[in-house]
Structure 1
């Protein structure tokens, strides 16, 4: 009788696990935070990507790496990336995405901002620390995009 209860319990637990897994996949739920701030550019995502590559190549204090992509077609691709910046002895890390809005514009969204040296930052824009980190992101990266060719 005891073995039968264990088998029934194990079977029910397995079925529940499978249902939750299928529901997760079907709903396409993920742990992506909404952007803290977005920046619109009047050029395509390919032009934006080229400008980012040029900045990455020319600035030794900056490292840009694409970490993931999502989308259902080549025209609907969203790139996720990490940006590392060094300023003096401080190492900053920013999580962001970029995508094309239409045939003439694209957008960058910052989803995470961190001061890795002092162990500060996060994914939610709710503090003066995050606002300061976003200012650094804008001054050391976003402002360079319009200037790069």
Structure 2
């Protein structure tokens, strides 16, 4: 029971950290040009599947505050669920951290397409230019996040 409680608590902490970091950086967290440093938590799905739900819940909660409202809660959360699930499926058995992080980064790209589609529907923005701008911001966030998660992985066992 202690182990289960610890897993639930650590997942709740990840979701809460996602929300706090995103809201602290709100001007960069919403819109076409995004640099959501909280996206670093997507890398955790490469270590353990429980982080899929933790990060997805964080996205769902923080997107309540999105200027796009319920549509962002739907598309953004679905994109994260897809990206983190793909990350887990493709990367959880890989031991090389560089490849783990690269896979996690690339797995977020389908989610960026969903966000671009959302912005096309809501704000009539062109899908493909919007996608590329979002994808570049996501890649930057994930690369910065890879460095942070790598450094943290020296002290924290994300596999547990």
TM-score calculated relative to the size of structure 2: 0.33
Q: Quick check: which one's helix share is greater?
A: 2
Q: Quick check: which one's strand share is greater?
A: 1
Which structure is richer in relative contact order (CA contacts within 8 A, separation 6 or more)?
A: 2
TM-score calculated relative to the size of structure 1: 0.35
